[in-house]
Amino acid sequence: MRYKSRRSKLFIVALLFLFPLLGLSQVPERVPKPDFETDYIRPDFLTPTPRATALEYIDIGVLIVALFLATYFAHKQRSRQNIFLLMVFSLAYFGFYRKGCICPIGAIQNVTYALFNPAYAIPVFVIVFFVLPLVLALFYGRTFCAAVCPLGAIQDAVVLKPTNVPGGLAAVLSVLPYLYLGLAVLLAATGAGFIICQYDPFIGFFRFGADFNMVIFGLSMLLLGTVVARPYCRFLCPYGVLLNWMSRLSKRHVGITPDECNNCRLCEESCPFGAIKKPDEAAPPANREAEVKKLAFIIVLLPIVVFGSGWIGSRLEIPLSRLHANVSLAEEILLENSGQRTELTDETKAFRASGKPTEELFAEASAIQRQFKVGGWILGGFIGLILCLKLINLFMRRRQSEYYVDKGTCLSCGRCFSYCPYEQVRLGIITPKEAEKMGSKEVKIKQFRA
Amino acid sequence: MIDKTSKKPLKRRDFIRKSLHAVAGLTIGGLAGILFSKSSSEEMVWQLDPNICIQCEKCSVNCVLPHSAVKCVHSYSVCGYCDLCSGYLQPGTKVRDTGAESQLCPSGALKRTYVEDPYFEYTIDEKLCVGCGKCVKGCNSFGNGSLYLQTRHDRCLNCNQCSIARRCPSQAWNRVPASRSYILKGDEKKKFLKS
């Protein structure tokens, strides 16, 4: 025994001298395994298991119940109070208890990644989280945003003194979610990463820990949220884009009034999200021809804009593809091989130690760059199309005789309900006559002004 | 929403709305169908491959948790139980004792107990381990590589995008099925895969 141990020590000392020759890759069995004389028993190797899959299905259950309740509270009960209470519950459950993962916003990337990478088997509950709110929005509007989304809830809780965002600025900012969605899908499809999760402003609060930039971004979003209601939901959220599309087509959507609108204007300022549209004044007929011409001009311009922005998108191939680890690694290797850089990074050291041929890496990198070129065309074209559609929307004035909610941007939060006199009638607070009076009074003022 | 001027455009608008509604419904349905055909009922979790890991120490600082979910684990079936353990002792140290100054571990998480001459057992106190991988590097340099890093799933929050994986220079991180949530070495690997 003694002799053996000395030999093993000698072996180690010999290895010490050989140190510079040893690479990063491990060499197994340098030291012979011991044979114990005493009845020594090896300790157990513990492998604590991840959260049980059954619990994920409980999450699905909670999601379904929360979505159902949100829709019931908004459509049937028309109760802002209940919506708010459910929102607080969702913030506690999906936010602080489940730490904000998985959420439908981030699931966009899992879905894209699953579609483009056959090796990734997407968990069932992620699909459910992605699909359910969309299906619900297709029938009942964005009740998910109102009371179930934890990111919406944390912002809704800090809406203190909401101010109106001017129409022009709001229109420009409303392009951002499309850009974010497009980028997120492109980067997830190519496997470069999940940027929605990376730049999630609120998840740091849910986990009680985040890196510095995340905290700053989150705090500034919340601070901004006190005066601009739900800034992330309205001007960044990529899932909001999909919900917006679905909600526009929704079969039933919450209305401000449970009855008929009598244009009393009481709800006018009640929406902090700018989703209540005023009735149009009669459009001057002289302008009509000019407007039609403008519209025709935009429609003719549409293919050119789409192509142009597609081209710009494809030009972004190089900077965008650098976000993929393999491309940036290939570039670093190239720099080092050409002698432009002498200091090795951890990345290049690891790559050189792995023994993978450089040609293989370069081939992979250029394949990814080609994907980014195609993706850039699609992303650019998509943004161009959205810009044109937004312009067309400006000209497509619908003649509207009463106050109505913009189904796309309305979050079904229920803030406006109690402003409506007919809602007060429904609740039995005032009589129908009083409600009618309110309407006529306002209409009289309007007539007086005109 | 009600166009009072004429009835025709209303019908046309209604038709467009209804058909768009159907298209949207079918799109979601189709997408869900495709996704379900590619799905697994199992959760995917993050794990690092110790055979690719280069012990750059980034795991210890990049986790979203204040104390990283990555910890050092020890494969007893691979360990040589050396007295002169290059994962435990500072390189170049003359004394082989348990003094803090001779230990490689910055937080004193790697414990050494005497078994029999000349063997020592090494265990990791996970409460103290910061996942820096200094001992792993030491063990890999001269020993059998029985010390290695793994995400401990009782701690890991399983973020959708692991913030360590994103910054891993050797791309050692991957999503793995929850039932195969560890990438182990030695006998432990066989045992784990069997169970």
pLDDT by residue (tens digit) across B55-105? Answer: 999 999 999 888 999 999 999 999 999 888 999 998 888 788 888 888 999
Q: Give yes or no for B138 touching A (CB within 8 A).
A: no
pLDDT in tens, chain A (450 residues): 444 455 555 455 454 444 444 444 444 578 888 888 888 888 888 889 888 878 888 999 999 999 999 999 999 999 999 999 999 999 999 999 998 888 999 999 999 999 999 889 999 999 999 999 999 999 999 999 999 999 999 999 999 999 989 888 998 999 999 999 999 999 999 999 999 999 999 998 998 877 788 889 999 999 999 999 999 999 999 999 999 999 999 989 999 998 888 888 888 889 999 999 888 765 555 667 777 888 888 889 999 999 999 999 999 999 999 999 999 999 999 999 998 888 889 999 999 988 899 999 999 999 999 999 999 999 999 999 999 998 888 777 666 778 889 999 999 999 999 999 999 999 988 888 888 877 755 554 454 444
The string of DSSP letters for A354-409 reads: HT--HHHHHHHHHHHHHHHHHHHHHHHHHHHHHHHHHHHHHH-PPP--S-EE-TTT
pLDDT for the residue numbered A51: 84
How far apart, in Å, do the first and last CA atoms of chain A sit? Answer: 108
Sequence-distant (6+) residues with CB within 8 A of A433 are none
Q: Number of H helices and number of E strands within chain B?
A: 4, 7
Q: Which residues of B touch A48 (CB under 8 A)?
A: 152-154
Nearest CA of chain B to the CA of A161: how many Å?
30
Q: Which residue of B has its CA nearest to A21?
A: B141
Query: What percent of chain B lies above the pLDDT cut of 90?
Result: 62
- Separation CA B90–CA A321 (nearest Å): 42
Q: Are strands A404-405 and A276-277 parallel, antiparallel or unpaired?
A: antiparallel
pLDDT for the residue numbered B7: 53
Using CB atoms, which residue from A38, A127, A353 is nearest to B32? A127
Q: What is the CA radius of gyration of chain A?
A: 30
- Separation CA A346–CA A353 (nearest Å): 10
Q: Is B40 helix (H, G, I), strand (E, B) or coil?
A: strand
- Separation CA B116–CA A228 (nearest Å): 70
Q: Give yes or no for A323 touching B (CB within 8 A).
A: no
Q: Which residues of A touch B141 (CB under 8 A)?
A: 19, 22
pLDDT for the residue numbered B40: 86
The answer to whether A262 and A438 are in contact (CB under 8 A) is yes
Sequence-distant (6+) residues with CB within 8 A of B166 are A193, A198, B62
**Chains A, B: CB contacts under 8 A, how many?**
213
For residue A319, say if its preceding peptide bond is cis, omega within 30 degrees of 0: no
Distance of CA B126 to the CA centre of its chain: 15
For helices A238-248 and A124-140, give the axis angle rounded to 10 degrees: 40
Kind and range of the H or E run holding A276: strand A276-277
pLDDT for the residue numbered B135: 94
Using CB atoms, which residue from A38, A125, A204 is nearest to B116? A38
- Please report the beta strands in chain B, taking only residues with DSSP state E, as ranges in sequence order: 39-40, 44-48, 70-74, 110-116, 119-124, 147-151, 173-177
Tokens (6 digits) for B36: 């379900």
Domain chopping of chain B, boundaries: 44-194
Domain chopping of chain A, boundaries: 55-254, 285-395
Residue A298: burial class (beta carbons within 10 Å; 0-12, 13-18, 19+): middle
Q: Which residues of A touch B161 (CB under 8 A)?
A: 106, 109, 193-194, 197-198
Type of residue found at A179: L
Contact check, Cβ <8 Å, B73/A45? yes
pLDDT for the residue numbered A442: 53
Q: Quick check: B154 pLDDT over 80?
A: yes
Q: Give yes or no for B84 touching A (CB within 8 A).
A: yes
- Separation CA A313–CA A179 (nearest Å): 11
- What does the H/E/C string look like for B79-124? CCCCCCCCCCECCCCCCCCCCHHHECCCCCCEEEEEEECCEEEEEE
In which band, very low, low, confident or very high, does the pLDDT at B3 lie, cut at 50, 70 and 90?
Answer: very low
Alpha helices in A249-357 (DSSP H): 288-315, 317-321, 325-337, 346-354
pLDDT for the residue numbered A22: 44
pLDDT for the residue numbered A393: 82
pLDDT for the residue numbered A293: 85
pLDDT for the residue numbered B98: 82
Distance of CA A188 to the CA centre of its chain: 13
pLDDT for the residue numbered A151: 95
Query: What percent of chain B lies above the pLDDT cut of 70?
Result: 95
Q: Which residue of A has its CA nearest to B166?
A: A193
